[in-house]
Structure 1
């Protein structure tokens, strides 16, 4: 069924409704509970968790899932880079380096969109994952470092 949904030209809302209808409620709720427990904030972990009186006061990390069609993983990555860069232009407070890519039917199998290699002055490489050549920091005149055309050891 996942393969049929993956190839169908339906909205994400319709896709989620179909997936929800085909999932047992107990399985879905346990999956959601596991995700919420997994992504608690650092403040909650240090304090032993939110109390009922201040529940919801601590900021939590949230994920926005965007679904789009692509012919293969390379095209999907190219589109992910374009969408991420566009979104960070509109909302500069969003960390582009945190962007992850997965198939719409396999959200638990994610890989980074950008290299993320840490270089001099704690600059982070914002070239695509698996890129050849030097690592490059964000920006037009971003710092470059590494082995040039040699093999890259990071993904």
Structure 2
């Protein structure tokens, strides 16, 4: 098997970050414990069927988790403003909430271009929600959040 490239590893880190944030919220575990678990049990794990989980960029994974946790209040406010019809973030699907927190953290705390963040996290949404309206919904919400977080990227 060929070694994954940096882009694939960063994509895998985003996917794992959404899973980790979801697990943190649903289990009440600390960020330190979740990060340790993911780094030791998820990255590069071989599954029962012999397939291998994607190798993730551990540094990017940690940065996403840190940003999502440290910027959560701002990101949640941005998400609330992006959600239509006064649908607060605490009422949306917990996987989507984790996704918006990871993406929002990356938008506010890194130099990743907002359009890259949007594209990458729409792909993550597609991985969690095969069919349906969720990826389009994610695209619309993240676009709104990106215009608020980094307006210069859209001028």
Could you state the TM-score of these two structures normalised by the residue count of structure 2? Answer: 0.25
Higher relative contact order, structure no. (Cα contacts within 8 Å, ≥ 6 residues apart)? 2
More strand by share: 1
More helix by share: 2
Higher-Rg structure is 1
